[in-house]
């Protein structure tokens, strides 16, 4: 088969012709660093990883099939359990797919509220990633710093929607409840200190020489490999590809907002780390802009309780916390979807793990897996 892409030749550097027997090691499914129930069968030559074969499906719940017997409004809370760390994005995914096969106009205020929630969710999800990634790389303190900050966002979500993890907030036609003065005050207070908080985190961790030595030039994924393997989100951008759906295939009110896309250089663990940190800053900036421009008016348009969509098929996508979250919806004009397929970002990002790890030491496996930021619910659907 023709070579599709070039990867750094780490394996060739470490390989020698001394014969040693391959070691096959099982990691997981019950393992604290696999972030859920993931089984990795690692083949290694001594301590050097030769190949990895992930086994999926321990958490498979058949959500696509269940979606076919439920109505659109019932599907939203169902899919929020898919990627429970960015439930707002999952809710928005089903909503935008249904809305693009309906003749309704979403009020501008609702679009602004949605973007505020989506970006806050991105910060919350990245903070959780920071907590677990730091744990994976051997530091315990950042966990408390990150979760303390995430708690403030979760409190804001509770104020707006009443729930702390799975919100069922974004729905066809708009959002479930309007945001009030108390929410806006809390949001302003959060944004006021958030950048300073990130500076503190970066002082604490990003500039740490031990961490940099640990993360630099580890788990390199080349630009061509990243594109060919279909990875998305911070992993793709960490490999130096300028591709952000919010910018290049915009939805909602993103074209009116002003923000940058961070891009890595080497595609190593450190680049993915820095990309996520910069994304948090940009997300806070987007929230600030959306908050300033928040128009008055309705927060939801009138939609019948049981939604019917037009006949047709559509592929909608958005930039979720972990990457491209796509939804392919086929409707026969009825109350429930004929076929609803979701392209989970973690699934394809995990598919690049074997390519990323080949040639690196066994001890690097956990930090590389941590840098991909998978949620097993999202991988297994």
Nearby residues of 248 by Cβ (< 8 Å), 6 or more positions away: none
Binding residue for other proteins, selected from 9, 65, 148, 192, defined by CB under 8 A: 65
3-state secondary structure of 306: coil
- Regarding 381 and contact with other proteins (CB under 8 A), the answer is yes
Q: Least separation, in Å, of the C-beta of 32 and other proteins?
A: 23
In whole angstroms, what is the distance from residue 2 CA to residue 330 CA?
A: 36
- Regarding 71 and contact with other proteins (CB under 8 A), the answer is no
- Find the binding residues for other proteins in span 130-189 (CB under 8 A): none
CA 246 to each of CA 96, 119, 253: distance values in angstroms, whole numbers, following the listed order: 14, 11, 9
| 139, two tokens | 């530091």
Binding residue for other proteins, selected from 192, 248, 310, 335, defined by CB under 8 A: 248
Binding residue for other proteins, selected from 23, 41, 56, 184, defined by CB under 8 A: 56
Binding residue for other proteins, selected from 142, 174, 262, 326, defined by CB under 8 A: 326
Of the candidate spans 131-139, 164-172, 313-321, 363-371, the one that interacts with other proteins by CB under 8 A turns out to be 313-321
3-state secondary structure of 43: strand
Binding residue for other proteins, selected from 60, 148, 192, 335, defined by CB under 8 A: 60
Nearby residues of 126 by Cβ (< 8 Å), 6 or more positions away: 276, 277, 279, 280, 283, 321
In whole angstroms, what is the distance from residue 179 CA to residue 159 CA?
A: 8
Nearer to other proteins, 15 or 315 (CB): 315
Binding residue for other proteins, selected from 34, 82, 96, 121, defined by CB under 8 A: 96
Of the candidate spans 20-28, 29-37, 60-68, 188-196, the one that interacts with other proteins by CB under 8 A turns out to be 60-68
Binding residue for other proteins, selected from 100, 168, 195, 206, defined by CB under 8 A: 100
Binding residue for other proteins, selected from 279, 324, 364, 378, defined by CB under 8 A: 324
Q: Does residue 120 contact residue 157 with C-beta atoms inside 8 Å?
A: yes
Of residues 277, 271, 279, the one with CA closest to residue 356 = 271
Of the candidate spans 44-52, 103-111, 290-298, 321-329, the one that interacts with other proteins by CB under 8 A turns out to be 321-329
Binding residue for other proteins, selected from 229, 257, 357, 374, defined by CB under 8 A: 229
Binding letters toward other proteins, positions 184-223, x by CB under 8 A: ----------------------------------------
Binding letters toward other proteins, positions 331-370, x by CB under 8 A: -x-----xx-x-x---xx--x---x---------------
- Total residues interacting with other proteins, rule: CB under 8 A: 49
Strand partners of residue 89? none
In whole angstroms, what is the distance from residue 354 CA to residue 51 CA?
A: 6
Nearby residues of 196 by Cβ (< 8 Å), 6 or more positions away: none
3-state secondary structure of 314: strand
CA 42 to each of CA 36, 39, 231, 360: distance values in angstroms, whole numbers, following the listed order: 17, 9, 21, 12
- Regarding 1 and contact with other proteins (CB under 8 A), the answer is yes
Of the candidate spans 28-36, 53-61, 77-85, 285-293, the one that interacts with other proteins by CB under 8 A turns out to be 53-61
- Which string of b and e fits 15-53 if b means at least 16 CB within 10 Å? eeeeeeeeeeeebbbeeeebbbbbbbebebbeebbbebe
Q: Does residue 89 contact residue 83 with C-beta atoms inside 8 Å?
A: yes
Of the candidate spans 180-188, 250-258, 266-274, 279-287, the one that interacts with other proteins by CB under 8 A turns out to be 250-258
Q: Which residues bind other proteins (CB under 8 A)?
A: 1, 4, 56-57, 60, 62, 64-66, 68-69, 96, 99-100, 227-232, 241, 243, 245, 248-251, 255, 313-318, 324, 326, 328, 330, 332, 338-339, 341, 343, 347-348, 351, 355, 380-381
């Amino acid at each position: 088969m023709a070579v599709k892409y070039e990867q750094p030749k780490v394996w060739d550097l470490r390989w020698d012709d001394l014969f040693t027997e391959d070691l096959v090691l099982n990691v997981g499914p019950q393992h604290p660093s696999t972030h859920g129930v993931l089984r990795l069968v690692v083949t290694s030559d001594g301590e050097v990883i030769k190949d990895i074969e992930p086994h999926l499906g321990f958490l498979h719940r058949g959500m696509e099939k269940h979606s076919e017997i439920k109505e659109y409004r019932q599907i939203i809370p169902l899919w929020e359990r898919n990627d429970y760390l960015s439930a707002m994005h999952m809710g928005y995914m089903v909503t935008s797919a249904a809305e693009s096969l309906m003749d309704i106009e979403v009020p501008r205020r609702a679009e602004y509220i949605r973007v505020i929630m989506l970006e806050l969710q991105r910060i919350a999800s990245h903070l959780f990633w920071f907590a677990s990634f730091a744990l994976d790389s051997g530091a315990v303190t950042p966990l408390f710093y990150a979760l303390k900050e995430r708690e403030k966002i979760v409190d804001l979500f509770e104020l707006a929607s009443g729930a702390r993890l799975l919100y069922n907030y974004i729905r066809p036609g708009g959002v479930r409840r309007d945001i009030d003065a108390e929410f806006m005050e809390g949001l302003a207070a959060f944004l006021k200190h958030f950048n300073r908080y990130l500076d503190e985190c970066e002082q604490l961790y990003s500039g740490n020489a031990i961490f940099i030595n640990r993360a630099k030039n580890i788990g390199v994924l080349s630009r061509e490999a990243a594109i060919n393997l279909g990875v998305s989100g911070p992993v793709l951008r960490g490999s130096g590809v300028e591709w952000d759906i919010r910018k290049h295939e915009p939805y909602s009110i993103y074209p009116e907002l002003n923000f940058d896309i961070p891009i890595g250089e080497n595609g190593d663990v450190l680049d993915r780390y820095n990309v996520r940190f910069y994304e948090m800053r940009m997300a806070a900036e987007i929230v600030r802009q959306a908050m300033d421009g928040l128009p008055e008016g309705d927060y939801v348009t009138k939609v019948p309780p049981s939604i019917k969509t037009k006949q047709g098929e559509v592929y909608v996508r958005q930039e979720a916390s972990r990457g491209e979250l796509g939804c392919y919806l086929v409707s026969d004009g009825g109350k429930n979807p004929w076929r609803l397929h979701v392209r989970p970002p973690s699934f394809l990002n995990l598919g690049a793990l074997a390519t990323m790890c080949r040639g690196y030491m066994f001890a690097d496996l956990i930090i590389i897996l941590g840098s991909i930021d998978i949620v097993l619910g999202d991988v297994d659907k």
